[in-house]
């Protein structure tokens, strides 16, 4: 029996690769089907009809495309039209694409002609550097966030797309640098293959080349495959035969290429798995919300020292901080984080601290809600301190902190209001205590005694820091 990677073990291991910026994605046609794009069989269905062939009976679709070229005297117009008709449309980006785009993944490889990967990256506020021809490889887009290698071309350039046997046989002459680049990436990064059948001869060539050069030292990669399903049209023994064949296929990936397989029952599980990977990654990022015009009953110096110590503790425990430089506390939060980062000297500044001050013009203030949502998109935990501001009617609770709390709850971000600091943080702490089992994830229900103690104003700042440290350790 083939040994498989459990879903839980895969999530743990691949999440670590994501956190360490070692992860890469290889997307096949299956990833785009959910957006309404066709698979290869449907792409070539009309072409097969013209050849008096049944596409559902054909397994070698590369040869099928070649038969069309042969029949047309090497004229590609029919293939080009099929690619344009099926892939040059604004189909909706899938949730899987959106999750992948939000993760800190800098390398995407695909055999797809569509633009879903680059569109999802743009939607996530990132700059993609798309490579669809060998001439693109030496060029670098300034400030790029991710590179998208379209090794079979792009729907906007259908005449150069790799689709027929001639294209594959001349691949090394027309697109050889892609093979070299992919080989280097497979040696240095951990790939997750999604929606890919491993029938592509170019990838097979690259994997074989790495195996011959690296031997038993190949890097571990992962793929997600759906278990063989029993079909109504199956004859006796068909389903069992496919199961045995899939086992041999999985074992071949593992033994020859060190590609570990995660088996799922349905394609919907891919979204669940990617969501959990994102949650694990986001859990390492803490959004710190705070604002104060008045620090009572704390002295101002003590309150600022507390804020600095809170952020220093967060960094010390290996978490990243996102902070919007809230009034009266933002500078202290940044100072504490910087102090710990520079003392540690093991982390880059940008790896553990993101400072995102709110724009202050009247027009920009209209976008503050969207801005808050964007910041909380990348956090798994939100810490709330103080939360008051001056108004014409005197000191009032911070409505901005209230909005950030509501956004956090809506996005599934774990809230940690430090009630002992008073003001809005105290009000939010009380809400969480009263609905603890509903608001706090089940896996963290054990922190309730410590969380409740965060509202005790009789304890010292140092005592509360020790409590917060225990909670962070639980996270």
Burial class of residue 275 (count of CB atoms within 10 Å of its CB; 0-12, 13-18, 19+): middle
Contact predicate 196/27, CB 8 Å:
yes
Distance CA 475, CA 169 (A): 52
Structure token pair of residue 32:
């785009």
Q: What is the pLDDT of residue 79?
A: 87
The pLDDT value recorded for residue 101 is: 95
CA distance 84 to 115: 12
Helix (H, G, I), strand (E, B), or coil: what is residue 441? coil
> Which pLDDT score is estimated for 299?
93
What is the structure's pLDDT at 448?
Answer: 97
Predicted TM-score (pTM) of this structure: 0.82
Catalytic option among 68, 97, 152, 464? 152
Peptide bond before residue 297 is cis, with ω within 30 degrees of 0 = yes
pLDDT given for residue 36 in this prediction: 66
- Regions in the chain scoring below 50 on pLDDT: none
Q: How far apart are CA 393 and CA 85, in angstroms?
A: 63
Identify whether the C-beta of residue 62 lies closer than 8 Å to the C-beta of residue 229. no
Cα separation, 155 vs 90, whole angstroms: 12
Could you confirm whether 132 is annotated as catalytic?
no
Closest CA relative to residue 134, chosen from 102, 99, 182: 182
Please report the pLDDT score of residue 346 as a whole number.
55
Largest CA distance in the chain: 87
**Kind of pairing between the strands at 388-391 and 394-397:** antiparallel
Which 3-state string (H, E, C) describes 359-399? CCCHHHHCCHHHHHHHHHCCCCEEEEEECEEEECCEEEECH
What pLDDT score was predicted for residue 2?
Answer: 63
Contacts of 49 (CB under 8 A, 6+ apart): 55
């Amino acid at each position: 029996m083939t040994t498989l990677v459990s879903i839980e073990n895969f999530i743990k291991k691949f999440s670590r690769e994501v956190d360490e910026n070692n992860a890469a994605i290889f997307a096949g046609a299956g990833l785009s089907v959910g957006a309404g794009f066709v698979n290869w069989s449907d792409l070539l269905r009309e072409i097969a009809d013209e050849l008096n062939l049944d596409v559902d009976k054909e397994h070698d679709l590369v040869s099928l495309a070649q038969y069309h070229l042969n029949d047309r005297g090497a004229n590609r117009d029919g293939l080009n039209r099929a690619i344009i008709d099926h892939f040059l449309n604004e189909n909706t980006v899938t949730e899987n694409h959106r999750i992948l785009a939000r993760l800190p993944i800098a390398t995407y490889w695909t055999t797809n002609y569509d633009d879903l990967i680059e569109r999802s990256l743009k939607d996530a506020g990132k700059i993609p550097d798309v490579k669809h021809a060998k001439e693109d490889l030496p060029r670098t887009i300034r400030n790029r966030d991710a590179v998208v290698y379209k090794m079979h071309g792009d729907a906007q350039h259908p005449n150069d797309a790799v689709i027929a046997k001639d294209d594959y046989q001349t691949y090394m002459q027309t697109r050889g640098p892609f093979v070299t680049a992919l080989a280097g990436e497979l040696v240095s990064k951990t790939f997750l293959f999604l929606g890919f059948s491993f029938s592509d001869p170019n990838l097979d060539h690259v994997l074989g080349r790495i195996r011959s050069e690296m031997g038993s030292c190949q890097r571990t990669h992962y793929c997600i495959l759906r278990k063989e399903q029993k079909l109504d049209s199956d004859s006796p023994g068909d389903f069992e035969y496919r199961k045995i064949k899939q086992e041999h296929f999985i074992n071949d990936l593992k033994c020859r290429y060190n590609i570990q397989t995660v088996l799922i029952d349905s394609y919907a599980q891919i979204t669940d798995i990617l969501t959990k990977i994102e949650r694990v990654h986001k859990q390492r990022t803490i959004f710190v919300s705070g604002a104060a015009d008045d620090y009572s009953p704390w002295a101002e110096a003590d309150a600022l020292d507390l804020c600095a110590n809170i952020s220093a503790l967060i960094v010390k425990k290996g978490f990243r901080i996102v902070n919007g430089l809230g009034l009266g506390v933002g500078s202290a939060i940044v100072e504490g984080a910087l102090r710990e980062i520079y003392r540690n000297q093991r982390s880059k500044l940008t790896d553990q601290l993101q400072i995102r001050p709110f724009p202050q013009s009247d027009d920009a203030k209209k976008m503050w809600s969207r801005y808050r949502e964007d910041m909380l998109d990348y956090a798994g935990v939100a810490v709330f301190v103080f939360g008051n501001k001056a108004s014409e009617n005197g000191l009032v609770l911070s409505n901005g902190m209230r909005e950030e709390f509501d956004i956090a709850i809506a996005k599934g971000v774990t809230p940690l209001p430090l009630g002992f600091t008073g003001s809005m943080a105290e009000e939010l702490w009380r809400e969480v205590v009263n609905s603890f089992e509903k608001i706090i994830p089940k896996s963290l229900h054990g922190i309730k005694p410590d969380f409740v103690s965060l509202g005790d104003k009789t304890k010292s700042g140092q005592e509360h820091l020790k409590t917060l440290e225990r909670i962070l350790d639980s996270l």
